[in-house]
Amino acid sequence: MRFVDEYRDPELARRLLAEIRATVTRPWTIMEICGGQTHAIMKHGLDQLLPPEIELVHGPGCPVCVTPLEKIDRAIAIAGRPAVIFTSFGDMLRVPGSCQDLFMVRAAGGDVRMVYSPLEAVKLARQYPECEVVFFAVGFETTAPGNALAIRQAAREGLANFSALASHVLVAPAMRYLLSQPTNRVQGFLAAGHVCTVMGLEEYEPLAAEFKVPMVVTGFEPVDILEGILLTVRQLEKGEHRVENQYGRSVQPRGNPAARQVIDEVFEVADRGWRGIGIIPASGLAIRARYASHDAEKKFAVTAITATEPTGCVSGRILQGLTKPPACPAFGRACSPAHPLGATMVSSEGACAAYYRYQRRAVLS
């Protein structure tokens, strides 16, 4: 497959690993922000091939994991109502709320449907004018333009029965939060290639300069990730801290202007709660007032629903790179993908779920 197979070449990967080994002289802690990259690192065993000096820690870049409990509870409250078709990407359906998940709502007779694109939800609103169609709009900047475009399209078509339950998060404010913590261990970042495909590189320049950390925008195939690590290590070893773009085949410096424009038209920046972390200022996107009639939280008056995170789960520390999943006493015992206790086990892209799936249960750090 073009633009995939070339980046899975074992010989190139072996050579990049040799170059990383030849470059590194002392310990470095590097965070990959994106859950998709965490998953790829585990799947291809890259963490086990790197020299011992390089520690990869796994960031909060899994929007399913960081969606606050109260948003899930609000989704469940809306989905259980009569004459509502509740739509969502598949990975949100099994995320546990305070008492149940969306699959349980469906089992109890609720009309909960999985969609591949938010435009499918708009299509349902067109097909079923007698029903309220609600789309659970979850995601980072990668997903935001499509979700924004769906809301705009529904508004243009006058589909008053379409609304979105928005739970959008932004990567750069989360990186700033992590770097500002006194406990921060991260010395370099692999920035998320698809987020930057939309947003470009501008947001990262001030972060790299202020916190003196290299930021290498990185793709998702094994060769991409190894090249991203090599570029980061080269900067670290030279004492540099620049924004570098490994994923130039998809990422332009200014991102995708059409995508940024539609995000800005439909959403505005807002404070956002992150499951396992808490509120991070200006780290999310909320639906603008002019699209309020398509805002499910307002339409269904569910903002009074609040929830308290259960205690005992260390996912907040895992999302900040402060601990690794196998160090948690519940990992693989009380907590598993079938019965997740917290944020990082609920989604297949969560760090705990990735460690569980790829048998990193014995690795203690």
Partner 1 sequence: MCLAVPGKVIAIMEEGGLKTGRIDYSGMVNTVCLELVPDIVVGQYTVVHAGFALSIIDEAEALQSLETWAEFLELQRVADGPGRSEPENP
Structure tokens at 257: 């202007």
Alpha-carbon distance of 358 to 349, in angstroms, equals 12
How far CA 182 is from CA of 76, 174, 177, 178, 328, in Å, comes to 37, 15, 10, 9, 22
- List of E strands, 44-144: 54-61, 84-88, 111-114, 132-139
Alpha helices in 128-221 (DSSP H): 144-156, 171-180, 193-199, 204-211
Smallest distance from the beta carbon of 1 to partner 1, in angstroms? 4
Which of 20, 24, 28, 35 touches partner 1 by CB under 8 A? Answer: 35
Which of 14, 185, 290, 361 touches partner 1 by CB under 8 A? Answer: 14
Residue whose CB is less far from partner 1, 138 or 318: 138
Residue whose CB is less far from partner 1, 70 or 221: 221
CB 215 within 8 A of CB 191: yes
Which of 125, 201, 262, 266 touches partner 1 by CB under 8 A? Answer: 262
Which residue type sits at 150?
A
Provide CB contacts within 8 A for 197, sequence distance 6+.
142, 247, 250, 251, 255, 256
Provide CB contacts within 8 A for 10, sequence distance 6+.
none
| Site residue total, partner 1 (CB under 8 A) | 60
Alpha-carbon distance of 240 to 215, in angstroms, equals 10
Binding mask 284-323 for partner 1 (x = CB under 8 A): ----------------------------------------
Residue whose CB is less far from partner 1, 137 or 318: 137
Residue 336's Cβ-side half-sphere holds a number of Cα atoms within 13 Å equal to: 8
- Indicate the pairing of strand 162-169 with strand 278-287: antiparallel
- Residue 344 interacts with partner 1 (CB under 8 A): yes or no: no
Smallest distance from the beta carbon of 241 to partner 1, in angstroms? 22
Smallest distance from the beta carbon of 230 to partner 1, in angstroms? 10
CB 345 within 8 A of CB 351: no
- Residue 36 interacts with partner 1 (CB under 8 A): yes or no: yes
- Residue 64 interacts with partner 1 (CB under 8 A): yes or no: yes
Which of 10, 52, 182, 239 touches partner 1 by CB under 8 A? Answer: 52
Smallest distance from the beta carbon of 216 to partner 1, in angstroms? 14
Which of 88, 232, 256, 320 touches partner 1 by CB under 8 A? Answer: 256
Which of 44, 113, 168, 194 touches partner 1 by CB under 8 A? Answer: 194
Which of 27, 206, 248, 310 touches partner 1 by CB under 8 A? Answer: 248
Tell me how many degrees the CA angle 177-179-185 measures, rounded to the nearest 5.
Answer: 130
Which of 251, 280, 328, 353 touches partner 1 by CB under 8 A? Answer: 251
Number of other residues whose CB lies within 10 A of the CB of residue 181: 12
Binding mask 123-152 for partner 1 (x = CB under 8 A): ---------------xxx-xx-xx--x---
Binding mask 207-236 for partner 1 (x = CB under 8 A): -------------x------x---------
Element (H, E) at 34: strand 28-34
Which of 100, 117, 293, 336 touches partner 1 by CB under 8 A? Answer: 117
Residue whose CB is less far from partner 1, 167 or 305: 167
Element (H, E) at 15: helix 10-23
Provide CB contacts within 8 A for 106, sequence distance 6+.
79, 93, 112
Alpha-carbon distance of 8 to 221, in angstroms, equals 6
**Interface residues with partner 1 (CB under 8 A)?**
1-4, 6, 11-12, 14-15, 17-19, 21, 34-36, 48-49, 51-52, 61-64, 89, 91, 116-120, 138-140, 142-143, 145-146, 149, 153, 156-157, 192, 194-195, 197-198, 220, 227, 248-252, 256, 258-259, 262, 347, 349
